[in-house]
Amino acid sequence: MRTGAAGETLSDAELVRRAQEGDELALEVLVERHQDAAFRVALSLVGDTDLAQDVVQDAFLKAFRALGGFRGEAAFRTWLLTITANAARGALRKQGRRREASLDAVGPVASTEVDPEESAVVGDEAARARAMLVDLPEKQRLAVQLRIDEGLSFREIGEVIGSTEGAARVNYFHGIHRLRERMER
């Protein structure tokens, strides 16, 4: 059965199953469903909107090419975000970029759209909090972002950042603690 307009209500597992059978619409629903999360992970790591889009495109292509071997041990989203994070690191290595964190640097919010539903409540304070994320070490940054923005469990975060569930939890709480300390300065 091909995926129709109702595909948006299907689970990821069902969409993946259909995509594995060659259903292109199922692929499209997966892209629409997860592009924001993938973009946020990419942006968090590369710090550049254009490069983040390249990374997301690359990550989806890699994921879909490997879909035949996807057995569903991990959730599709976790798997995709892991691929995205690896693609982002690869893009950085390729470009030989080094991100120097700075409170004065242009943060993601300043150069990127914010969720329209939340835009009304986003003020300077929120933008400042978001911009400070770039100051955190990579694992803390990703742990905070994946927990708050995407609602991943600590086990899932561990899969993405390459650590144990416990280490992911520690990274999250250390990251939050550091951010709050800096906000209060």
Partner 1 sequence: MNMRCEFARELIPDLVGGRLAAEEAARVGSHLETCDACRAEADFVRLLFASRPVAPRELVSRVREAVRAGEGSARRPWWGLAAAAVAVLALGIGVASRGATEATAPVPGFVAEGTAVNVWFADDGMIAGAPALDGLSDDALQALLDELGSGGTGGTA
Q: Residues interacting with partner 1, by CB under 8 A?
A: 22, 24, 27-28, 31-32, 35-36, 38-40, 43, 49, 53, 56-57, 60-61, 64-65, 108-109, 112-116, 118, 121-122, 125-127, 129-130, 133, 144, 147-149, 151, 154, 169, 173, 176, 179-180, 183
Choice between 151 and 162, CB closer to partner 1 = 151
Smallest gap from residue 24 Cβ to partner 1 (A): 8
Residues 6+ apart with CB under 8 A from 149: 37, 40
Nearer to partner 1, 5 or 121 (CB): 121
Between 53 and 96, name the residue whose CB sits nearer to partner 1: 53
- 39 SS3 class: helix
Cβ atoms of 132 and 161 closer than 8 Å? no
Q: How far is the CB of 42 from partner 1 (least distance, A)?
A: 9
Least distance CB 173 / partner 1 (angstroms): 7
Q: Shortest approach of partner 1 to residue 60 CB, angstroms?
A: 5
Q: How far apart are CA 35 and CA 33, in angstroms?
A: 6
- Residue with smaller CB distance to partner 1, 2 or 180: 180
Cβ at position 165, least distance to partner 1 in Å: 12
Comparing CB distances to partner 1, the nearer of 129 and 167 is 129
DSSP reduced 3-state for 72: coil
C-beta pairs of 104-108 under 8 Å, 24+ apart in sequence: 105/47, 105/131, 105/134, 106/131, 107/131, 107/132, 107/133, 107/134, 108/40, 108/43, 108/44, 108/47, 108/133, 108/134
CA distance 95 to 84: 16
